[in-house]
């Protein structure tokens, strides 16, 4: 829990600094890349969490992996190493993205489908979500073959379940009640 609070504080500080330097969007892209890369690479995540690997090695690896990142992002890495808080970097990146979305009024919609979304369908979903929420919406897509077909859409605390599995479960409940 203390780590989560610290991650939020670091994320707020980075957002404040990025706002002052008018680089919030660039830093947001960096943070998305950091969060995605660490989440997808078990080796990188293990290295960051390892007490055996030295801080200088961790720093050189991160600066090499994220060499095209903004100066603010590179300074964050230096600060985390200095303060021995580098294992929090993924959570800080996630929190920054959430704070940035709040700042810009962007909502994140979670779309779960049985097959990958096509570009055409993604555009239609984005247009419909913008119409419904009145805000810019970013789609995070996940695959779950167990829903058989259709989709499950979550925006904030609203969920719309149009999956085949859900419809089959409703039918099953109706038949068992009668």
Confidence band of 178 (pLDDT split at 50, 70, 90): low
Confidence band of 2 (pLDDT split at 50, 70, 90): low
| CATH class for the region spanning 2-103 | mainly alpha
Provide the residue ranges of all domains of the chain, joining segments of one domain with +. 2-103, 106-177
Q: What is the pTM of this model?
A: 0.73
What average pLDDT does range 114-140 have in this prediction?
A: 83
The tens digit of pLDDT for each residue in 53-93 reads 999 999 999 989 999 999 999 999 999 999 999 999 999 99
Q: What is the pLDDT of residue 95?
A: 94
Residues 163, 147 contacting (CB under 8 angstroms): yes
What is the CATH architecture of 106-177?
2-Layer Sandwich (3.30)
Q: DSSP letters of 110-138?
A: EEEESSPPPHHHHHHHHHHHHHHHSS-EE
The string over 84-105, giving b where at least 16 C-beta atoms fall within 10 Å of a residue's C-beta and e elsewhere, is ebbbbbbbbbbbbbebbbeeee
């Amino acid at each position: 829990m203390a780590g989560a609070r610290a991650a939020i504080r670091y994320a707020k500080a980075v957002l404040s600094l990025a706002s002052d330097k008018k680089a919030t969007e660039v830093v947001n892209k960096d943070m998305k890349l950091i969060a995605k890369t660490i989440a997808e690479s078990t080796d990188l995540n293990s290295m960051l969490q390892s007490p055996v690997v030295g801080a200088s090695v961790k720093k050189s690896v991160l600066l090499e992996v994220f060499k095209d990142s903004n100066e603010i992002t590179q300074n964050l890495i230096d600060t985390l190493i200095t303060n021995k808080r580098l294992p929090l970097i993924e959570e800080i990146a996630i929190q920054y993205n959430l704070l940035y979305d709040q700042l810009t009024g962007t909502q994140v919609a979670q779309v779960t489908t049985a097959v990958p979304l096509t570009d055409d369908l993604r555009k239609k979903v984005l247009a419909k979500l913008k119409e419904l929420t009145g805000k810019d919406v970013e789609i995070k897509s996940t695959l779950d073959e167990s829903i058989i077909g259709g989709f499950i859409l979550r925006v904030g605390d609203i969920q719309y379940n149009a999956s085949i599995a859900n419809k089959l479960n409703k039918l099953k409940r109706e038949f068992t009640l009668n």
